[in-house]
Structure 1
Amino acid sequence: MSDIPPEPISLSKLGVSASSSKTGQPITPSSKYFLTKEELSLCIESASKGDLKSAVTVLDFFTYVEYDAEKSVYWMKYAAELGDSVAQHNLAMHYLQERNLTEAKLWAEKAVESDKNGSVDLLVEINDMLAK
């Protein structure tokens, strides 16, 4: 038995694409967020001009495909500033985990304003922690 690990085999050499041939859906959940370098560059350019959908696309890329904590938080905050309620909620959770209750409350309040559904409980939790 050899101690040398086998060479990885690309999906294309096996005749398989990154999506199912029957459904066209990604094989893995994160593969739907994949961007080429050119696509990423175009999305960053569009996002920098205030395009929310592009900002969320870049956020998803750095969260699910090419994980980079610093870039993920940067794009999460950028998308949140553009009004994305999911990014606002997740940013509040991020600040809560960092124990930055002031920022957590700010973003939870914005998330509640944007999307009344899922962030109310989070805001209540943060307010309870601030009251202690």
Structure 2
Amino acid sequence: MSNAYYKACPEFDRYNELIEKYWNTKQFEKCFEGHMELAEKGYPLAECQVGYFFYDGIGVEKDADKAFYWTQRAAEHGDRDGQFNLAYFYEEGIGTPVNMEKAKHWYKKAAEQNHDLAIQKCQDLNLGDE
């Protein structure tokens, strides 16, 4: 994670602590629980991570609907990774019907925040200033 993008705050400190203490030691259930606590308080980075945990089944059972829900929350709260992931979910129909218009919208939102993969995706999809 780039510290330049995520602003210092108690939630970010807790996020880093969870990664160091539980993710890096492969205690994924505890890592998920800690992220869920932060996500339920509306912290976008944690919302994005909870979506990823549900998407990949890390520390929790795979659930595409819950992955979509938490990823959408992160995207709407301004997290650029959440925006990119949400676009991908719309493009691939993960937890939601395929919707390329919504996918393009969220790829552009992430690209506006200098998300490298989103910028590349916008170029691939010829998303200029539509």
Relative to the length of structure 1, the TM-score reads: 0.59
Please state if 1:81 is matched with 2:80. Answer: no
Structure 2 residue aligned with 1:121: 120
CA RMSD of aligned residues (A): 2.8
The amino acid across from 1:35 in the alignment is F
- CA gap 1:35/1:108 in 2 versus in 1, 3 angstroms: closer
Q: Write out per-residue CA displacement over residues 77-129 of structure 1, whole angstroms, 9 at most, x where no aligned residue.
A: 1101111111111111121223421001100110101124221221133347x
Is this contact kept in 1: 2:107–2:121, CA < 8 A?
yes
Tell me the percent identity. 28
Runs of 5+ unmatched residues, structure 2: 1-22
Is this contact kept in 2: 1:88–1:108, CA < 8 A?
yes
Structure 1 residue aligned with 2:3: none
Please state if 1:54 is matched with 2:46. Answer: yes
Match of 2:59 among 59, 65, 68: 65
- CA gap 1:103/1:62 in 2 versus in 1, 3 angstroms: same
- 1:41, 1:76 → 2: CA distance? 12
Is this contact kept in 2: 1:31–1:65, CA < 8 A?
yes
Tell me which of the two structures has the higher relative contact order, counting C-alpha pairs closer than 8 angstroms and 6 or more residues apart: 2
- 2:78, 2:30 → 1: CA distance? 21
Structure 1 residue aligned with 2:9: none
- 1:33, 1:92 → 2: CA distance? 28
- 1:60, 1:25 → 2: CA distance? 16
The amino acid across from 1:88 in the alignment is Q
Structure 1 residue aligned with 2:19: none
Is this contact kept in 2: 1:112–1:120, CA < 8 A?
yes
- Specify the structure having the higher radius of gyration (Cα): 1
3-state SS in 2 of match to 1:111: helix
